[in-house]
Amino acid sequence: MKRVVWIISEGSPGHVSQAEGFIAALAERIDLESHIIQTRPQFGGFFRKLIRLWMGSNDKALSDNFLKRRLQCDIPERPPDLIVTSGGKAVFTARSLAVKFAVPLVYLGERKPYPSAWFHTVFTPSPFESGSNDVPIEMIPTGITPEKVIAAAKAWDARPAGNLWAMILGGASASHAYSDADWKLLGEKMNSLAEKHHIRWLISTSRRTGAHAEEILRLTLDSKHLARAVWWAEKPEKMMAAFLGSAAWVFVTQDSVTMVTEAIASGRPVVVTMPAATRLKPTSFLLGYFGRLESLRRIVRIPFDLLGDFHPAGVVLQPRSVPINSELASTLLTRLDWPAQH
């Protein structure tokens, strides 16, 4: 029997990528077809709090009319067997549809402020979440695997020769502030590392980086140390997988949990780096998330100002032997009591 799985998306590419990677692992075990259902909440934080209180911990669901008008969600005719989401703004829609069709709801990531009882299973990276339906995980799901990045590198016709390291860049967030001096310092440290270890960089910025930060990096980095660059503000290119598969070492900024997780999932040794003005709240799951990954030797964390001291010989890391998606898929099938079909 072919199962129908809905991914409820609020528009975040990172969240959809997590869900798709997880469902791909499920598809290796059972016959399924997946569909992305879009939702776009049209109200602010105070109204969201009221809706959350109204829905409570019982089986209350928002009406089809409300879903269509205020959450901009078109409901397919064919019902699902399973609903998956990883975006907090998609939860009202996902929960309502799960109640409407009486099917399990799976959440990937930190579920707060929603109750554990709203979900059949929550795969959570947060050490603060220990509800009855919460299942702790080492890292969030991702569509990246060692096999995929190796294949992407092999398929890259213009792949540069030589010893390559990758630098994957995010940008400012609530917990990570970047100054012009930070971007200049990072460029200087990248020059220093290139000269010291005789490498060239594969660099990719992202939507969050911004044109101004890119300009500082371009002025600071010595062009002879660049093998290939993606400047997202100028010309977006999806080269992440090819860069990861081509790099001996991957450096990634700490502000993006998704990018850090993708780097780890590639099977490459990973250095997570950050600017000086980094303020992670004690209640943030990121402290536990990065700390756990560091204790398991999946990553090493080095701030910008100390990057020049990095030497590969001084770092011993332990990549994951089993992709996180495979682990979660097996766990969910057990919890659902669905037999594997292949």
Q: How do residues 72-81 score in pLDDT, each as one tens digit? A: 999 998 999 9
- Do 68 and 165 lie in one domain? The reply is no
Retrieve residue 17's tokens: 């990528």
Question: What confidence tens digit (pLDDT) does each residue in 142-151 have?
Answer: 889 999 999 9
47 and 162 within one domain: no
pLDDT of residue 102: 97
Residue 253: predicted pLDDT: 98
Note the pTM of the prediction, 2 decimals. 0.86
Mean pLDDT of 240-269: 96
Q: Judge if 64 and 90 occupy the same domain.
A: yes
Q: How confident is the model at residue 17 (pLDDT cuts 50, 70, 90)?
A: confident
Lowest mean pLDDT among 28-37, 191-200, 213-222, 316-325: 316-325
51-68 pLDDT, tens digit each: 999 998 788 999 999 999
pLDDT of res. 81: 98
Check residue 114 and give its pLDDT: 95
- For residue 342, tell me if it sits in a domain: no
Residues 331 and 303 placed together within one structural domain of the fold: no
Q: How many domains does the chain have?
A: 2
Q: What's the farthest any 2 CA atoms get from each other in the chain? A: 62
Residue 276 and residue 151 in one domain: yes
Q: Residue 174 pLDDT > 90, yes or no?
A: no
- Say whether both 199 and 210 belong to one domain: yes
Rounded to whole angstroms, the Cα distance separating 187 from 170 reads 14
The reply to whether 267 falls in a domain is yes
The pLDDT value given to residue 72: 94
Same domain, yes or no, for 284 and 172? yes
* Statement: residue 321 has pLDDT above 80: no
More confident residue, 283 or 206: 206
Query: What pLDDT does residue 338 have?
Result: 97
Backbone Cα Rg of the chain: 21
Residue 320, pLDDT above cutoff 90: no
- Residue identified by tokens 């994951």 is 320
Mean pLDDT value across residues 198-225? 97
Whether 73 is in a domain gets the answer: yes
Cβ contacts of 248 within 8 Å, gap of 6 or more:
163, 164, 165, 199, 268, 269, 312
The verdict on residue 230 lying in a domain is: yes
Scan for tokens 């409300």, then name that residue: 66
pLDDT of residue 217: 98
Residue 34 in this model has a pLDDT that exceeds 90: yes
Are residue 75 and residue 38 in the same domain, yes or no? yes
CATH number at residue 225: 3.40.50.2000
For 90, the domain range is: 3-143+323-336
- 75-134 residue pLDDT tens: 998 999 999 999 899 999 999 999 999 999 999 999 999 999 999 999 999 988 999 999
pLDDT (mean) for 287-305: 94
Q: Are residues 189 and 249 in the same domain?
A: yes
- 341 within a domain of the structure (yes/no): no
Contact call for residues 216 and 187 (beta carbons, < 8 A) = yes
Instruction: Please tell me the predicted confidence (pLDDT) of residue 164.
Output: 98
Per-residue CA distances from 277 to 11, 173, 303 (Å): 29, 11, 10
**What whole-number distance in Å separates Cα of residue 26 and Cα of residue 204?**
30
Same domain, yes or no: 139 and 151: no
Q: Identify the bridge partners of residue 305 per DSSP, sorted by sequence position.
A: none
Q: CATH no. for residue 110? A: 3.40.50
Instruction: Measure Cα distances from 224 to 61, 115, 195, 220, 296 in Å.
Output: 59, 53, 10, 12, 36
Please give the span between the terminal C-alpha atoms of the chain, in angstroms, as a whole number. Answer: 12
Q: Is the pLDDT of residue 302 over 90?
A: yes
Verify that 179 and 97 share a domain, yes or no. Answer: no
Residues 234 and 166 in one domain: yes
